[in-house]
């Protein structure tokens, strides 16, 4: 039996996460800085297609986790080897960081023009709207706002609830789509499309709450880049100390969904064929 090439798997994870952030955050870049698109449906289509393209590109190489929440949940439930978990997570964060750097290389002049025209001082209160190009925040500064009144309307607990529920649904969707005993189990080509549609719906209903992270790598890669760009404490630990909402809570949501699937739903599925 040929030994698995784990280096290729790590590369696949980096490529897939790179594509998700490149296309997904690219939609946010153009929406905020250029106003070319701005409604949640457009953002949802952008992120959904980003996930679809990434899965098509990387699934054969790595299994298409592209998300520490997915990797850790699968490892904890014995569906993925622990000895490769850290490498997967590092590859995911690296891919997200490089995608952010790519977008900034393309749009740096537009970015600084946006900052200047809006009187934004990077790293200070009010710069959340510029950092939201990179990083998911609670609440969405472009929809709910970024002042005390906005924070009163949307607490960090509400952001955590949104992230938990969204990642729970995403992880359940992944497990449903992979279950060959399901009567709706899709043909292989449809899996990426179905997953993209799930993400589209989640963006529409949850993005105003926390900009829908779902994914610690999608958060941390761009957040590291934002820190290096000068956002300082706005990046770490976030304007409200809110980094935990978009990094830790998705992991909890994915793990909860995996236990729910294994303990509550799977026992009632038809028996696997011998």
pLDDT tens readout for residues 156-210? 999 999 999 999 999 999 998 888 777 777 678 889 999 999 999 999 999 999 9
Any domain includes 165? yes
**Has residue 128 got a pLDDT over 70?**
yes
Any domain includes 273? no
Any domain includes 117? no
Q: Read off the CATH number of the domain in which 137 is found.
A: 1.20.1080.10
Any domain includes 272? no
Distance separating alpha carbons of residues 74 and 224, to the nearest angstrom? 26
Any domain includes 163? yes
Which domain covers residue 252, as residue numbers? Answer: 6-112+122-266
In the chain, how many domains are there? 1
Q: What is the pTM of this model?
A: 0.94
According to the model, what pLDDT value does residue 1 have? 39
pLDDT tens readout for residues 61-97? 999 999 999 999 999 999 999 999 999 999 999 999 9
According to the model, what pLDDT value does residue 259 have? 96
Any domain includes 126? yes
pLDDT cut 70: percent of the chain above it: 96
Cite the DSSP H helix spans in 132-189: 148-153, 156-178
């Amino acid at each position: 039996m040929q030994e698995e090439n784990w280096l290729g798997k790590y590369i696949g994870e980096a490529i897939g996460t790179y594509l998700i952030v490149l296309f997904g955050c690219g939609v946010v870049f153009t929406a905020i800085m250029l106003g070319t698109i701005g409604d949640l449906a457009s953002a949802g289509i952008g992120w959904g297609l980003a996930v679809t393209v990434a899965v098509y590109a990387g699934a054969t190489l790595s299994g298409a986790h592209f998300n520490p929440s997915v990797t850790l949940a699968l490892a904890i439930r014995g569906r993925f080897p622990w000895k490769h978990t850290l490498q997967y997570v590092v590859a995911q964060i690296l891919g997200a960081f490089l995608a952010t750097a790519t977008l900034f290389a393309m749009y740096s002049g537009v970015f600084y023009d946006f900052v200047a025209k809006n009187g934004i001082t990077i790293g200070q209160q009010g710069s959340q709207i510029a950092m939201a190009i990179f990083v998911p925040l609670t609440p969405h500064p472009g929809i709910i706002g970024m002042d005390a009144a906005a924070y009163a309307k949307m607490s960090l607990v509400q952001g955590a609830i949104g992230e938990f529920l969204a990642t729970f649904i995403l992880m359940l969707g992944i497990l449903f789509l992979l279950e060959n005993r399901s009567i709706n189990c899709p043909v292989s080509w449809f899996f990426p499309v179905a997953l993209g549609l799930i993400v589209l719906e989640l963006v529409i209903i949850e993005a105003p709450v926390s900009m829908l992270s779902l994914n610690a790598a999608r958060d941390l890669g761009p957040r590291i880049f934002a820190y290096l760009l000068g956002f300082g404490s706005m990046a770490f630990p976030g304007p409200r100390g809110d980094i935990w909402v978009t990094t830790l809570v998705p992991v909890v949501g994915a793990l909860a969904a995996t236990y729910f699937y294994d303990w509550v739903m799977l026992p009632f599925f038809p028996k696997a064929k011998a």
